[in-house]
């Protein structure tokens, strides 16, 4: 018998094993739900799949009686828009600040520790300040996500820039590059895949801030809906929304990884 650490599953077995936990969760839910519903058919805590399906049809494929909108898609679009704009702004800010701090000592001296301190401010703690300063509209929600993720991305990019071997920077200078050219021809292309990594890592936090902001002040959005229907203990709506958010996050993560692999083949290598 080999040691445990040397036992590897076959490819097919690996797939089955990967799906197993999901199947277990679904099965556990069905059993628990059936047990509770058998005792009390009006139980709201663990609705049956049929009830959940009805809720999905009601929200996603039927016009809302009051507004005439498809609430599920309205919420999805509103949330994705906020998240998308905020993440783009964050990535851009993080990239510019990170490259500046990483490459130029005269920028690093004043701003590096400043950014480090800013990144320690808990964004949720200053959410009220954002609402007061930027109002209850879209801007404050986007700002919350930006404040929560941009400093992290900036620090990560700064670190990555400083990890680029000094030999390369010197070599570029001997090839007649000025500072700007070094930034855009040597540093920028090399940190782009790392920026994608940083964005992937910060997406979790971005969703957290998005849902928090929507829960507090919003009129549509995935987070808003979840917190709205919580008052009626509408688990039949909350559960599919949570699954949908998870799926969106998962797809975003896979998508970013795929983009990175296609655009930066040299980055995904065995190593020099």
Partner 1 sequence: MSFIDVKNVWKTYQDQVVLENINLKVKKGEFVTIVGASGCGKSTFLRMLLGQDVPSRGHIYCDGQVLRDEPDEKRGIVFQRYSVFPHLTVLQNVVLGTELAGNRYLGKLWGRKKRAAIDEARALLAAVGLQPSENKYPHELSGGMQQRLALAQSLIKKPQMLLLDEPFGALDPGIRADMHELVLTLWRESGTTIFMVTHDLKEGFYLGTRLLVFDKMRHDPHAPGRFGAGITYDLPIGKTERQLYQAIKQDVVTTERIAEKHRA
Min separation Cβ 269 and partner 1, Å: 5
Footprint (CB under 8 A) of partner 1, residues 212-271: 264-267, 269-271
Task: Return all residues near 74 (Cβ < 8 A) that are at least 6 apart.
Answer: 220
Of the candidate residues 44, 171, 230, 261, the single one contacting partner 1 (CB under 8 A): 171
Of the candidate residues 68, 180, 231, 262, the single one contacting partner 1 (CB under 8 A): 180
Of the candidate residues 186, 196, 206, 213, the single one contacting partner 1 (CB under 8 A): 186
| Residue span binding partner 1 (CB under 8 A) among the ranges 41-49, 50-58, 60-68, 185-193 | 185-193
Nearest to 156 by CA among 191, 184, 203, 107: 191
Q: How many residues bind partner 1 (CB under 8 A)?
A: 27
CB 111 within 8 A of CB 172: no
Q: Contact between 21 and partner 1 (CB under 8 A)?
A: no
Q: Contact between 162 and partner 1 (CB under 8 A)?
A: no
Min separation Cβ 193 and partner 1, Å: 9
Of the candidate residues 185, 230, 247, 255, the single one contacting partner 1 (CB under 8 A): 185
Give 74 or 188: the residue with its C-beta nearer to partner 1: 188
What is the token pair recorded at 120?
């320690």
Helix (H, G, I), strand (E, B) or coil at 3: coil
Note the helical H segments in the chain.
Answer: 11-39, 49-60, 71-103, 105-118, 127-134, 138-163, 166-174, 179-181, 188-216, 222-229, 235-263
Q: Contact between 168 and partner 1 (CB under 8 A)?
A: yes
d(CA 58, CA 66) in angstroms, rounded, equals 13
What is the token pair recorded at 167?
């030999």
Footprint (CB under 8 A) of partner 1, residues 187-216: 189-190
d(CA 119, CA 157) in angstroms, rounded, equals 14
Task: Return all residues near 197 (Cβ < 8 A) that are at least 6 apart.
Answer: 260
Min separation Cβ 183 and partner 1, Å: 10
User: What are the backbone angles phi and psi of residue 179, rounded to the nearest 5°?
Assistant: -60, -45
Min separation Cβ 180 and partner 1, Å: 7
Of the candidate residues 138, 173, 201, 249, the single one contacting partner 1 (CB under 8 A): 173
Of the candidate residues 45, 170, 247, 259, the single one contacting partner 1 (CB under 8 A): 170
Give 88 or 175: the residue with its C-beta nearer to partner 1: 175
Neighbours of 231 (CB within 10 A): 7
Give 44 or 185: the residue with its C-beta nearer to partner 1: 185
What is the token pair recorded at 164?
């680029």
Chain positions contacting partner 1, by CB under 8 A: 165, 167-168, 170-178, 180-181, 184-186, 189-190, 264-267, 269-272
């Amino acid at each position: 018998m080999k040691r445990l650490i040397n036992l590897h599953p076959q490819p097919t077995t690996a797939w089955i094993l990967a799906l197993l936990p999901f199947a277990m969760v679904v099965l556990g839910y069905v059993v628990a739900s059936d047990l509770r519903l058998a005792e009390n058919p009006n139980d709201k805590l663990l609705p049956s799949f049929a009830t959940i399906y009805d809720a999905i049809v009601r929200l996603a494929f039927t016009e809302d009686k009051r507004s005439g909108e498809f609430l599920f898609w309205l919420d999805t679009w509103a949330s994705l828009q906020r998240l998308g704009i905020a993440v783009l702004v964050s990535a851009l800010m993080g990239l510019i600040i990170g490259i500046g701090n990483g490459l130029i000592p005269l920028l690093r001296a004043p701003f590096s520790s400043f950014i480090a301190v800013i990144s320690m401010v808990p964004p949720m703690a200053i959410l009220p300040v954002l609402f007061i300063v930027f109002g209850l509209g879209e801007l404050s929600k986007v700002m919350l996500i930006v404040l929560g993720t941009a400093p992290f991305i900036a620090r990560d990019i700064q670190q990555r820039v400083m990890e680029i071997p000094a030999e390369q920077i010197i070599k570029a200078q001997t090839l007649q590059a000025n500072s700007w050219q070094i930034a855009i021809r040597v540093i920028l292309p090399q940190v782009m895949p790392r920026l994608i990594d940083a964005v992937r890592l910060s997406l979790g936090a971005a969703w957290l801030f998005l849902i928090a902001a929507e829960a507090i002040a919003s009129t549509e959005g995935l987070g808003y809906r979840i917190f709205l229907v919580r008052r009626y203990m509408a688990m039949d709506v909350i559960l599919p929304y949570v699954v949908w958010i998870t799926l969106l996050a998962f797809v975003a993560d896979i998508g970013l990884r795929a983009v990175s692999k296609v655009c930066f083949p040299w980055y995904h290598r065995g190593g020099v």
